[in-house]
Structure formats: structure tokens, C-alpha cells
Amino acid sequence: MKQAPYWWDQAPLSTGLTNFPTAKSDVVIVGSGYTGLCAALVLARGGATVTVIEAGKLGEGASSRNGGMVGPSFHKLGVRGLQAEFGKEKTNEILRESVGFVDFMKQFLKDEAIDADFQQVGRFRGAMSGAHFDAMARELENLQEACDVQGHMVERKDQGRETGSDRFHGGVVYELDGGLHPAKYHAALVQKVKDAGVHLVSETTVLELERLNASMLVKTTRGNVQAREVAICTNGYTGNPFSDLKKRILPLRSALVATAEIPVDVINRLMPKRRMYGDSRRIIAYYRTSPDGKRILFGGRASGYHENTARNVRILRNSMSDIFPELRNIELSHAWSGLVAYTFDHTPHIGNMGGLHFAMGYCGSGVARSSYFGTKLGYKILGKSEEGRTVFDDIPMRGRPLYSGTPWFMPAVLTWHRIADRLGF
């Protein structure tokens, strides 16, 4: 079994420059994931000189290792939870803009002629109990009222059309969602920003930022570069040089496994419509076929902050065989993990903090969101406030007293969620 993303077999990571071609840049972007590259693309095409600095290889963070699921991603708090946090009017605005993330993504791929195996197949979310099914039906109604999202409930007696699992008490289908090949998408973005003249510097870590009169000195492991504007696009990998942001982010590890190739009749039975899948367990699980339809990719919350492949494989195998018992002993070809960024209000954030531009906190659903937010960030830095405006602009990004960026309480939270899942809450 390879301890690396399945995606890298078809789209290996690339490296960038290992020096700074210019000592000064209009904008320095820290992080070469979707957020950083989408911002860079807008900025370079708008006439700015842009340098992207990446600690690893290009896209080595979450953007080349995620599940590739594309959706509006508004379910974390639920409509009622959002209303409690932001009020009804703001909630509706947030939901309407979120529905648009998928259209944005589709249009972006089309405009840029990016072939990343995108397919709008919809998403099925299975209900683990009758009570969960009822809650899903209420949530769908609320969402339809708030933002007219397309979806439908699937009764237990009909769920064979959606899934080969008999673990569910029915479920819901959201028709807007789709899936793509995350590393192919990232590789295409790398090419786009290179063509636009962006300097991509990889295997170089930003260590410190020093404020000069009207600019910033960005100090790195390979020397310094001076910039008028700096954008922090580090999401789950946000570290000490950006401590104000770090203490507002909960970095959590998410893991995936890929099965070896499975006979097509088995895939046809388990995932007949090749949708994106999830369920109502508290310990998040997400699953899909590979874009070629030959394997199942199964993901979920990993065991802790640090990589522990053996434990993640055990957790994911159990989670997968709970849903699909016939996969209990299936051979796995790949296992990997990466960091996502949660926020205390379960909402992504964009803006400027202490003179640093940033967009982050996608709460585990960042393929479409980070592309959208990165693009908006680019426009903001260019000073194009109309194109850069989003309904998320005025939402303050809050931390918590005594929290400095290490989520020491997460093991206890996860243990509670596992117990709740077992008891069927």
C-alpha cells in the first residue's frame, strides 16, 4: 500500500523555483493551494507582479490530496444554526452565495478550459436512523426555502437506486454537487499562474514578516523578498509566523484510503449512480468512486493531529465496512491524510488582519470555497472592491480565550462523537 495520495499517480506534484528571481514583488502570497493560486491568477492578470511561496512542493497541502468533492458546503451548522449565529437575513445571503460556489467552479473550469474530470453527479447523504432521516427532510425544506437548493428525499424502500448499503434509513440527494480530480485541477492551476507570469517558489518556508515603512519584508529559509502586499493562504497549515490567524483556526487531520480496483458489477451495486456520498454519523465520512469508476475512495476524520497511517487505515476500514460490509477485507492501494481548517463559527473567513490579507477556514469543504475565496481575495488586493465583495466580508473571525492554535481538546470531542455514533444520537 502506498502512503501517498492516489491522485499523485495521475498528477504528480511539481516543484517551482528555488530562488527569488526578483528582490521585490507587488504581492507575496504564502501557500500554493487553490486559495493562493486563484488569488495569484487574478492579481497577475490584473497587472501585479506576484510571488507565491510554498513550504513544500507546489500544492502539497490539502489542495492535491482532498476527496475532490465539490459542493456548496453549507450543512455544517444547518439553517437553524446559521440563523442563531447570524440572523435570518444574513443566513439567506450566506446560503444563496454558497449555492453559487458550484456554478462559480463550473464556469471557472469552463472558462479556463481545465480538464479535471469534473462531473456533476450529485451527492447522496444516508440517514443512520429514522430520526436522522426526519431531520434531513426538515433541513432540505429549510434550505429550499432559504436558497432554492435542488434536492430530494429518498425513502428507505427506494434507496437501492442510490446505494448498495442497507445501513441507511433513506437519505437525501443534493443534485448540485459533483466531483473532480483534485491534483489534476491543481496542476492545471499551476500552469495557468505560470503562464500569467507568477513566480512560484517552492520548498521555501516563510519564517517571519517584518513591517517596513510602506511595505513588508518576507523572511524565508531561502532569503528575503520585499512586498507591498502579503496574502496568507495557508488554511490548515497556518503556523507561528501568522499567530493572529493561527489562534483563530482549528487544524484537523482528514484521511483517505483508496481500494485496489474493484469489479465493475460490485461498484455498480454499491454506488450505482457514481455520486458523492456521506452519511449522518457525527464522525465525518465521505466516499466516492475514483473518476475512472474503478476504485472506491473512502475518507473521514483521522486519529489525531499528527500523521498516523496505520491508525487512520484501521479507523477508515472500520468506518467503510460499517457502511459496506463486503469491503471489510478489500485490498487498499493508497492511504494518506492532510490538514483542514475549522473555525469557531463553522464559517470560512476572508479579509485583512493587521495589514495581512487572508482567506481560510473552509471547515473541510474547501475545493469550491477556496477557489472562490482565492479569486475574491485577488480582486480585493487589486482594489477592485465590487468584484471582490462577498457576503462573508463583514463576519469577524473570532478565537477563544486560552486557545493559541493547538486543538488539545479534540481527542475528547472525537471520543464523545464516537460514543454518540455508537448510541445512535
Contacting residues toward ligand FAD, per CB under 6 A? 30-36, 53-56, 60-63, 65-69, 205-206, 233-237, 239, 241, 254-256, 286, 299, 337-340, 360, 362, 364-367, 370
Taking the CB of residue 297, how many other CB atoms lie within 10 A of it?
A: 22
Alpha carbon of 398 to those of 253, 406, 421: distances in Å? 21, 15, 29
Instruction: Give the nearer residue to ligand FAD in terms of CB position, either 173 or 232.
Output: 232
Strand-pair category, 24-30 with 223-232: parallel
Specify whether the CB–CB gap between 263 and 109 falls below 8 A: no
As measured in angstroms, the least distance from the Cβ of 423 to ligand FAD is: 27
As measured in angstroms, the least distance from the Cβ of 279 to ligand FAD is: 14
Instruction: Give the nearer residue to ligand FAD in terms of CB position, either 170 or 182.
Output: 182
Instruction: Give the nearer residue to ligand FAD in terms of CB position, either 170 or 229.
Output: 229
DSSP string, 160-184: GGT-S----S-EEEETT-EE--HHH
Instruction: Give the nearer residue to ligand FAD in terms of CB position, either 31 or 170.
Output: 31
In whole angstroms, give the CA distance from residue 348 to residue 358: 11
Closest of 375, 308, 304 to residue 336, by C-alpha = 308
As measured in angstroms, the least distance from the Cβ of 232 to ligand FAD is: 8
As measured in angstroms, the least distance from the Cβ of 320 to ligand FAD is: 15
Instruction: Give the nearer residue to ligand FAD in terms of CB position, either 49 or 235.
Output: 235
As measured in angstroms, the least distance from the Cβ of 267 to ligand FAD is: 19
Instruction: Give the nearer residue to ligand FAD in terms of CB position, either 50 or 133.
Output: 50
In whole angstroms, give the CA distance from residue 124 to residue 354: 42
Cell of 179: 466531483
Closest of 52, 5, 369 to residue 183, by C-alpha = 5
Instruction: Give the nearer residue to ligand FAD in terms of CB position, either 104 or 156.
Output: 104
Alpha-carbon Rg for the chain in angstroms:
21
Instruction: Give the nearer residue to ligand FAD in terms of CB position, either 68 or 122.
Output: 68
For ligand FAD, which residue has the nearest CB? 366
Instruction: Give the nearer residue to ligand FAD in terms of CB position, either 132 or 349.
Output: 349
As measured in angstroms, the least distance from the Cβ of 354 to ligand FAD is: 16
Q: Cα 252 vs. chain centroid, distance in angstroms?
A: 12
As measured in angstroms, the least distance from the Cβ of 236 to ligand FAD is: 5
Dihedral over alpha carbons 89, 91, 94, 96 (to 10 degrees):
-70
As measured in angstroms, the least distance from the Cβ of 353 to ligand FAD is: 16
Alpha carbon of 18 to those of 200, 202, 223: distances in Å? 9, 6, 10
Cell of 109: 473550469
As measured in angstroms, the least distance from the Cβ of 214 to ligand FAD is: 23
- Which uninterrupted H or E stretch holds 266? helix 264-270
Instruction: Give the nearer residue to ligand FAD in terms of CB position, either 107 or 129.
Output: 107
Specify whether the CB–CB gap between 301 and 418 falls below 8 A: no
- Which uninterrupted H or E stretch holds 135? helix 130-147
Specify whether the CB–CB gap between 264 and 91 falls below 8 A: no
As measured in angstroms, the least distance from the Cβ of 54 to ligand FAD is: 5
DSSP annotation of 399 reads -
